[in-house]
Amino acid sequence: MTVDKRVLLLLDVQACNLCDPPKGAPSAPLLRTNIFTVLTIARNARPPPRIIHVRNCGELGDPDEPKAPGWQLFFPPLVQEHVVDKLKNNAFAGTRLAELIPPEAEIVVAGLGSDFSVRATCSVALDRGNEVILIRGAHGTYDRVEVLHGGGITPAFRIEAEVEDELEEAGVLVLDMKDVPGIFTDR
C-alpha cells in the first residue's frame, strides 16, 4: 500500500488532553505511551503512512484555545507531516482533511476524545468509503458527569469501550496495541 493509501490520523493529541490528570484525560499517562508507540512505528514504516495531526481550536478561555500552552501538539510533527486545525468534532468539517485523505485510503486513528472527535471523524470517514482502524488503548476521553437519571459519573474507560463497540458495529476495525506493528506493513 502506498503512502497515499494509508494514513495515521492523530486527533486532538494536544498538551491539554495529555497532561497528568485531573486536568488531562484520566488515562493520559497510558495514552502518551501508546500514542507515542503508534507514531514511532508509523514513522519507521517503509513506506511510512501519511501522518496527519489534527489540532482542536477551542474557544477563548478553553485549555485548547489557539496559541495557549494546552493547544500545542503533544508530539511535534516532522516536516513532512501535516497539521490540520479544526473547530468541530468532525475533523473533516471546514478543514482540508478530505483533500489530504483519498476516499480509498485506510485510516488508522488514535487520539482524543473518544466520544467526540474520534467518534465523529471515524463515522464520517466510513461514510466517505474509507477503511478505518481504531487502536484500543491509543484513544481516550474524560469522565462524563451525567445530568439525567439521578446524575453520577460515567468513567472514561466505560465511555471508550462503548464508543469502540458502536464504531465496530458501524464498520470500524478495532485493534489492540499488540497489533500495531503489523498495521503499517505492506499486507
Residue-range definition of the domain harbouring residue 50: 3-182
CATH number at residue 16: 3.40.50.850
151 is a domain residue: yes
32 is a domain residue: yes
How much is the pLDDT for 130?
A: 98
Provide the grid cell at 175.
485493534
Dist. CA 33–CA 28, nearest whole Å: 9
Other CB atoms within a 10 A radius of the CB of residue 157 amount to 14
- The radius of gyration of the chain from alpha carbons, rounded to an integer in Å, stands at 16
141 is a domain residue: yes
How much is the pLDDT for 187?
A: 64
Number of domains in the chain: 1
Longest dimension (CA), the chain: 52
Please list the pLDDT of the chain residue by residue as tens digits (187 residues).
Answer: 444 699 999 999 999 999 999 999 999 999 999 999 999 999 999 999 999 999 999 999 999 999 999 999 999 999 999 999 999 999 999 999 999 999 999 999 999 999 999 999 999 999 999 999 999 999 999 999 888 777 899 999 999 999 999 999 999 999 999 999 999 987 6
Dist. CA 38–CA 93, nearest whole Å: 25
Which residues in the chain belong to E strands, given as ranges?
A: 6-11, 50-56, 82-86, 106-112, 131-140, 144-145, 153-154, 173-175
Task: Please tell me whether the overall predicted TM-score, pTM, comes out greater than 0.75 for this model.
Answer: yes
Dist. CA 183–CA 187, nearest whole Å: 8
187 is a domain residue: no
Which ranges of 45-84 would DSSP assign to H, the alpha helix? none
